[in-house]
């Protein structure tokens, strides 16, 4: 079982019996919405029960589906993993089980970077799925091999592409792992993994 499937099973346990699993989720493009500075791609908005959650992804998808689509599904493509993250985010937010559902606004980008630099100062960092290699202004000691890192940062695209999932599988028990951005909010909560999105909106 992959880490994403583990998150799905924990999600299923959280929603079964609530009636939420019978509800419909609409996934649609939301091109004008702000997206996380660490994440690249098109913004997809998931709408469910009067709530919305937004994820940015290099693998955009538009669809309408029941929440129960996730149960037993095989997440064997980046598009399916994107859809799963968006669905889990919006339903978990609806149930008040995950707080963050949307990116912060650009005015919060600088303080977010500053806080992240303070949090990781002096540590060797490996980044999976980031828009840019976070050196320079962030002042992080970024390494190219997770084997040489003290901390692993995994963004949504790291999960969607599969690279971040492989890293989670290999290093979950022996490295500090931080999932970054609104895209990973539900998965981090379900897997009980540290999450970084200090200014993300509800």
Q: pLDDT tens digits, residue range 97-114?
A: 988 999 999 999 999 999
In this prediction, residue 104 carries a pLDDT of 96
**CB atoms < 10 A from the CB of 162, how many?**
18
Going by the DSSP 8-state scheme, the letter that residue 194 receives in this structure is E
201 falls within a domain: no
> Can you tell me which residue has the tokens 């309408």?
64
Residue ranges making up the domain that contains 138: 106-196
Residues 22 and 84 grouped into a single domain: yes
Residues 110 and 191 grouped into a single domain: yes
Residues 78 and 130 grouped into a single domain: no
Instruction: Give yes or no for a contact between 45 and 30, defined as CB atoms under 8 angstroms apart.
Output: yes
**Mean pLDDT of the chain, nearest integer:** 90
Residue 89 has pLDDT above 70, yes or no: yes
Residue 84 tokens, joined: 């799963």
**With bands split at pLDDT 50, 70 and 90, how would you rate the model's confidence at 137?**
very low
Tally of structural domains, the chain: 2
Q: Find the mean pLDDT for residues 127-135.
A: 74
Alpha-carbon Rg for the chain in angstroms: 16
Instruction: Give yes or no for a contact between 46 and 89, defined as CB atoms under 8 angstroms apart.
Output: yes
Instruction: Give yes or no for a contact between 117 and 142, defined as CB atoms under 8 angstroms apart.
Output: no
37 falls within a domain: yes
Of 43, 68, 94, at which residue does a domain stop? 94
């Amino acid at each position: 079982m992959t880490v994403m499937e583990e998150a799905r099973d924990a999600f299923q346990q959280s929603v079964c019996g609530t009636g939420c699993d019978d509800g419909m989720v609409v996934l649609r493009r939301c091109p004008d919405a702000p997206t996380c500075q660490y994440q690249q791609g098109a913004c997809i908005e998931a709408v469910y029960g009067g709530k919305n959650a937004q994820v940015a992804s290099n693998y955009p998808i538009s669809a309408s589906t029941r929440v129960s689509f996730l149960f037993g599904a095989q997440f064997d493509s980046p598009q399916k993993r994107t859809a799963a993250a968006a669905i889990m985010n919006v339903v978990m937010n609806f149930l008040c089980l995950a707080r963050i559902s949307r990116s912060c606004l650009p005015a919060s980008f600088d303080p977010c970077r500053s806080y992240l630099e303070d949090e990781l100062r002096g540590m060797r960092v490996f980044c999976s799925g980031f828009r840019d290699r976070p050196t320079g202004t962030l002042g992080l000691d970024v390494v190219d091999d997770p084997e040489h890192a003290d901390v692993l940062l995994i963004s949504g695209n790291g999960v969607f592409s599969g690279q971040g999932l492989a890293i989670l599988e290999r290093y979950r028990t022996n490295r500090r792992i931080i999932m970054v951005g609104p895209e990973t909010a539900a998965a981090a909560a379900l897997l009980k993994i540290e999450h970084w999105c200090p200014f993300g909106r509800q």
